[in-house]
Structure 1
Amino acid sequence: MTEARTTGPTRTNAGPGRLLIAVYLLFAIAATSRASLQIITRFDEAPLAYLLSALAAVVYIVAAVGLTRAGHAGRQVALACCLVELVGVVGVGAFSLARPDLFPDETVWSGFGSGYGYIPLALPVLGLAWLWFTRPRM
């Protein structure tokens, strides 16, 4: 029996993937810190916004873990997180512009991530592109 060999890069945690993981970790720390402080100190002011920031923090943490793991399971976790993140940032971004009354304070994803230099909008696109580039090929 011969084993199938893959060609091309397949490790999500090597090369530019390390920078991507570092950015995800940075955003995980920033979103976790911000959401925790907001939930603890003034949750009643904007509960939806603060809970969405907490959700973003969880997604960033899990995405970073998925990208760090080099195997199939890690890739699947990272893929799911990048897709949830993309839907989240586009959905919350559009909704926060359409109904600003529901967002008295910003989330990480408000205005398509404008408060963070639109990096939250670019990050899932870069993550999906990296997962595509590093996919196993037969």
Structure 2
Amino acid sequence: MKHLRTHLNEDTYLKLVLEAIEKENYRLAAYIDNTGKMVAVVGFMPMITLYYGEYIWVSDLVTAPDERSKGYGDELLSYVHDCAKAQGYDKVALSSGLQRVDAHRFYEEKMKYDKVSYVFLKNL
């Protein structure tokens, strides 16, 4: 996760994860390779909006830089899809930083996601 959320130190990360688990039903799953090394992680949770209705939101998905293009992201996102279906959800959504061109290609071409909106942020 440190490769994706570089602005967080360990204490802040753990505080936020524990709060998200408690309040938002946030879940984490990891891909462990055959050597026992964690190489990818995904965080996701149920959401409700008027636009999508009830769906699963992928908050975090990252593969260690030296482990990319080995199918780990595909495995984890497919796991999220299976969890969503098992819980009665028919949609999974996520956002991805504008600079993550390789990730966008992965979502659109490999995983068949549709690009449906931009996410806007205003720091106050």
Shorter chain as denominator, the TM-score bin is: 0.3 to 0.5
Which has the higher Rg, Structure 1 or Structure 2? 1
Greater helix share, 1 or 2? 1
After TM superposition, the score normalised by the length of structure 2 is 0.36
- Which structure shows the bigger proportion of residues in strand conformation? 2
Q: TM-score, normalised by structure 1?
A: 0.33
